[in-house]
Amino acid sequence: MTAATLRKVQLPRATVWVALAGLLVATAALVLYLGRSTGFYFDEWNFVLERRGWDADALLAPHNEHLSVVPVLIYKTIFSTVGIDSYTPFRVAGVIVHLIVLVVLFAYARRRVGDVLSLGIVGLVAVFGPAWPDVMWPFQAGFLASLAAGIGALLLLDRGDRRGEIGASALLTVALASSSMGIPILGAAVLEILGRPDRRRRWFVLVAPVALYGIWYLAYGGGQGKESVDNLLSTPAYVAEAAAAAVGAVFGLGPEWGRPLVLALGALLVLAIRRGAADPWRLAALIALPLVFWGLTGLARADLHEPGAPRYLYPGAIFVLLIAIEAARGVRVSREALAALLVVIAFASLSNVGALRNGAGYLRDQDAELDGALAALQLAAPHGVPPEFRPQPTVAPQIFAGSYLAAVKDLGSPAPAPAELPRLFGRGRTAADGTLRGAYGIALAPAPGRPGGQAPVVEKVEGAATQPRGACLRVQPQAAASALELTVPPAGLLIEPTDADVKVFLRRFGDAYPADAVGDLVAGGKPMLLRIPSDASTAPWHARLALSGPARVCGA
């Protein structure tokens, strides 16, 4: 059995870069393929609807407490060049930032643990499925840009010269300008720079990032925090659970496995510190990095009970890996042990691909619903939809009709054309029906006139008999649960209960009727009219009437 330090397990230079390039290309292809048929999701709509200008507020106003200059600039650049008709440019931009993280992580690891293990680590993070929002969702480019800039700053500090220190200062500023993830990164840099004996020569590295972030915070960031005494008391438990979730995710396992793994890795870390091969100040800074990140997150969000939230696993895993990489510097291992470690990484990566696929499926499902809702909104827009109307309050509560239609006028439309509604996925067509019902304010109203035209066309009868009489149908239930499905005439549907209660359900593009009725009629009540505005689509509306007794249904 042969042994060597990890640093000396190297490959030919050309082989290393070809392998890394192949890994990056494969990662981009896989992420772009899995993310097909996805679109703008949740927080991205805040950028689309609120950040179209080029004033200071559009660039500097916080988003969920984060200074987000870098992601805002990414989105606004794409807005200004190609608009929002296609989501693909945004997905490509998100993938590029992810690849940058992989490259700087490889460069950092290669100096410490050699080529082979560094490629394995990069492969693990490349398809980090437990953190699928960070990998699949372009909006998370803010988190990823902070991580890339932070690791890059550590690499430049390794140089030990003035040029590297100036570059590190610039990258720390970029980390802070990308997301609040830059705050723990800055904290780690403060610990390393001010802890070393040469602090008087290097302190200036911190001046620009601290000053610029302080100015922004005084102007925009004050009063944004949500800290509470309850969160403070819950933070230690939050940090412990977040650590277990991150470590478990690194190995392709859950937090229940992460808890013993944290203890095992802690013991190995103590041994590494006693061995003394690692840079003590760098290792101290890296150990502080996740603790500060999880601690600050707990102060702000412990009440939400989400220490293992997928979007926090990517940075948590990166920080854990950085600690392991630094602690492993100069470690002597057998080639057999290295091979076993790579096998573990391969199995974890395989598990993570499955989680990545599931996350992409979730995003596609959300987009399918929103596509239907937004296509329906554009269909209804010529009829004067109230500006405060929300087409899909569950999937995209930020979208109001007025601001969305204004954005479409400026940037183009990311939604399918209304003519494509009949060809959308089922959940999209169902969402379209709900949006049209709300946009048109469809409800039963007292009938102002008499029946007219032809009787409604019957589509399906359940437990009842029907008899046409002029413009009407007489419906006689023959079972306890009876229903009538019919096509709504263009002029509307007039319903007259006799000795029956009637519930009216409505659909147009969807395959099934929704659970909520558009109206109820009581036995012996006045005739009610269901009238729906006409629009550019020729698709008819369909009504289902659930009856408890006889009724008369007529064309309006």
Question: 409: exposed, middle or buried (C-beta count within 10 Å: 0-12, 13-18, 19+)?
Answer: exposed
Q: What whole-number distance in Å separates Cα of residue 147 and Cα of residue 320? A: 13
Which H or E run includes 474?
strand 472-477
Reported as a pLDDT band with limits 50, 70 and 90, residue 4 is low
Identify whether residues 395 and 455 lie together within a single domain. no
The reply to whether 304 and 235 lie within a common domain is yes
Report how far residue 463's alpha carbon sits from residue 528's, in angstroms, rounded to the nearest whole number: 23
3-state secondary structure of 410: helix
Q: Are residues 371 and 404 in the same domain?
A: yes
Report the pLDDT value the prediction gives residue 501, as an integer from 0 to 100: 84
Residue 224 above 70 pLDDT?
A: no
Please say if the pLDDT value at position 305 is more than 50.
yes
pLDDT value of position 173: 98
The whole-number pLDDT of residue 480 equals 80
Distance separating alpha carbons of residues 502 and 427, to the nearest angstrom: 27
Domain annotation covers residue 520: yes
pTM of the model: 0.91
The pLDDT value recorded for residue 488 is 93
pLDDT digits (tens, 9 = 90+) for 461-491: 999 999 988 889 999 988 888 999 999 998 8
What pLDDT is recorded for position 134? 97
Q: Are residues 464 and 417 in the same domain?
A: no
Query: Does 449 share its domain with 551?
Result: yes
Q: Strand pairing partners for 497?
A: 551
Structural domain contains residue 371: yes
Residues 481 and 429 in one domain: no
Tell whether 452 and 535 lie within a shared domain: yes
Number of domains the chain is built from: 3
User: What CATH code is carried by the domain that includes residue 483?
Assistant: 2.60.120
Do residues 70 and 178 touch, judged by C-beta distance below 8 A?
yes
Mean pLDDT score, 62-91 = 95
Q: What tokens were used for 265?
A: 């890795």
Dihedral Cα 93, 99, 105, 109, nearest 10 deg: -170
318 and 400 in a common domain? no
Which carries the bigger pLDDT value, residue 49 or residue 447?
49
The predicted-structure confidence for 490-508, as pLDDT tens digits, reads as follows: 889 998 877 778 899 999 9
Same domain? 410 vs 464: no
Q: Decide if pLDDT at 8 tops 70.
A: no
pLDDT for residue 389 = 96
| Structural domain includes residue 463 | yes
328/380 same-domain check: no
In a domain, 449, yes or no: yes
Mean pLDDT score across all residues of the chain = 91
pLDDT at 136: 96
Which of 503, 495, 504 lies closest to 471, judged by CA? 495
Asked if pLDDT for residue 1 goes beyond 50, the answer is: no
pLDDT tens-digit profile of 306-319? 888 999 999 999 99
* Domain presence at residue 204: no
Both tokens assigned to 12: 């030919």
Q: pLDDT value at position 187?
A: 95
Q: What is the pLDDT of residues 99-141, one digit of tens each?
A: 999 999 999 999 888 888 999 999 999 999 999 999 999 999 9
Residue 5: its pLDDT value, please?
A: 64
Q: Tell me which H or E stretch contains 105.
A: helix 88-126
Burial of 425 (0-12, 13-18, 19+ CB in 10 A): middle
| In-domain check, residue 396 | yes
Tally Cβ neighbours within 10 Å of residue 268.
14
Q: What is the pLDDT of residue 335?
A: 77
Considering 411, 440, 469, which residue would you say is the last residue of a domain? 440
At residue 351, the pLDDT reads: 84
3-state secondary structure of 471: coil
Whether residue 426 lies inside any domain: the answer is yes
Q: Are residue 425 and residue 462 in the same domain, yes or no?
A: no
Type of residue at 32: L
Q: What's the pLDDT tens digit per position in 395-450? A: 999 999 999 999 999 999 999 999 999 999 999 999 999 999 999 999 999 887 77
Over residues 134-166, the pLDDT tens digits come to: 999 999 999 999 999 999 999 999 998 999 999
What is the Cα–Cα distance from 189 to 200, expressed in whole angstroms?
14
Q: Do 432 and 458 have their domain in common?
A: no
In a domain, 286, yes or no: yes
Which position has the token pair 């709300």? 438
| Sign (positive or negative) of CA dihedral 511, 517, 519, 525 | positive
Looking at 440, 468, 491, the residue that finishes a domain is 440
Q: Which is nearest to 219 in space by CA: 56, 392, 334?
A: 56
Per the structure, the complete domain to which residue 401 belongs is given by 364-440
Measured in degrees and rounded to the nearest 5, phi and psi for residue 71 equal -65, -35
Give the domain-ending residue among 440, 459, 491.
440
> CB-based contacts of 310: which residues, under 8 Å, 6+ apart?
130, 131, 132, 133, 134, 359
Given a contact cutoff of 8 angstroms between Cβ atoms, the answer to whether 188 and 195 are in contact is no
